[in-house]
Amino acid sequence: MQETGGQEARGEEAVDVRRAWRDSIGVVVATSTYGVSFGALAVASGLGVWQTCVLSLVMFTGGSQFAFAGIIGAGGLAAAPSAIASAALLGVRNIAYGMRMSPVIGRGASRRLSAAHFTIDESTAVSLARFTARGRTIGFWATGVGIYLGWNLSTLVGALLGDVLGDPRAYGFDAAAAAAFLALLWPRLRSRQPIAVGVAAAVVATAATPVLMPGVPVLVAALVAIVVGWGNWLGRNTPEEPS
């Protein structure tokens, strides 16, 4: 009986590992292609090819990179403090990912240090979708490393082809990042409280955009979201799950 149970466990692990590889490859291909738009937009915003590539190599978090390049493009060097602050604000979520992925990554300073750069939305999502330890580990590393290589390569391609493509906004590339964040946000709007947070932040950002320096409205909207969310003004309107 024990031998049969062990064979079943190994079979389930093998299936989980195959699915981890399959999901990783699919996410790597899709996300890496998205890097072309960043490369083109960054060059159109006034950054050089080498500056664009350095951003992808060092920063490596799509949302923060789009925010930085977009704000610099709109406000020039004078908007650099706002661009840095906005990029950092968007990157804070990776701290939470790191805490959640700590058991998957395991112990060891060198292992954790190398994993920090690959702890992003996609690697976390693919890893946590698996149910075996090996599947989660493969999902994390295969997705994180694969996207890092693909993203940087596609960033270079987009930066080099920026002049050939013309204005990236004509293709709607400038809306890609906003659409991606909206897709992440939409499933969470299931009760009054998150809807109130989203609406309050959106109204403040819209009102502040014409009068404040580029990048600042995002920071102000974030503060409003924190105040509304922390205060829990509308309270919970969904029943508590049994413990």
Q: What is the percent of the chain where pLDDT is above 70?
A: 75
Q: 11 and 115 share a domain?
A: yes
For the chain, how many structural domains are there in total?
Answer: 2
Q: 73 and 164 share a domain?
A: yes
- Higher pLDDT pick, 177 / 104: 104
Boundary-marking domain end, from 173, 203, 226? 173
Q: 214 and 125 share a domain?
A: no
Q: Is 72 inside a domain boundary?
A: yes
Q: 223 and 143 share a domain?
A: no
Q: Which of 211, 161, 177 has its CA nearest to residue 70?
A: 177
* Contact in structure between 221 and 85 (CB atoms under 8 Å): no
pLDDT at residue 216 tops 90 = no
Q: 162 and 135 share a domain?
A: yes
> In the structure, what pLDDT confidence band is assigned to residue 214 with cuts at 50, 70 and 90?
low
Q: Is 183 inside a domain boundary?
A: no
Q: 145 and 213 share a domain?
A: no
- The length of the chain in residues reads 243
- State pTM to two decimals: 0.69
Boundary-marking domain end, from 121, 149, 173? 173
pLDDT in tens, 226-243: 777 676 655 554 444 443
pLDDT of residue 196: 79
pLDDT of residue 154: 93
Tokens 């490859």 identify what position?
A: 25
Mean pLDDT of 98-119: 88
pLDDT in tens, 31-71: 888 888 888 888 888 888 999 999 999 988 877 788 788 77
Q: What is the pLDDT of the chain when averaged over all its residues? A: 78
Q: Is 178 inside a domain boundary?
A: no
Q: Is 206 inside a domain boundary?
A: yes
Burial 197-224 (b: 16+ CB within 10 A, else e): bbebbeebbeebeeeeebbbbbbbbbeb
Q: Is 214 inside a domain boundary?
A: yes
Q: 129 and 212 share a domain?
A: no
Question: Residue 124 is encoded by which pair of tokens?
Answer: 């976390």
- Higher pLDDT pick, 5 / 211: 211
Boundary-marking domain end, from 141, 173, 205? 173
Q: Domain of 121?
A: 2-173
Q: 135 and 16 share a domain?
A: yes
pLDDT at residue 3 tops 60 = no
Q: 125 and 13 share a domain?
A: yes
* Euclidean distance between CA atoms 114 and 128, whole angstroms: 19
pLDDT of residue 240: 44
* Euclidean distance between CA atoms 52 and 56, whole angstroms: 7
pLDDT of residue 181: 55
pLDDT at residue 108 tops 80 = yes
Q: 134 and 33 share a domain?
A: yes
Q: Is 209 inside a domain boundary?
A: yes
Q: 168 and 194 share a domain?
A: no
Q: Is 45 inside a domain boundary?
A: yes
pLDDT of residue 180: 53
Q: Is 212 inside a domain boundary?
A: yes
Q: Which of 41, 21, 38, 24 has its CA nearest to residue 167?
A: 41
Mean pLDDT of 179-189: 60
Q: CA of 145: how far to CAs of 25, 94, 132, in Å?
A: 11, 16, 20
Q: 165 and 202 share a domain?
A: no
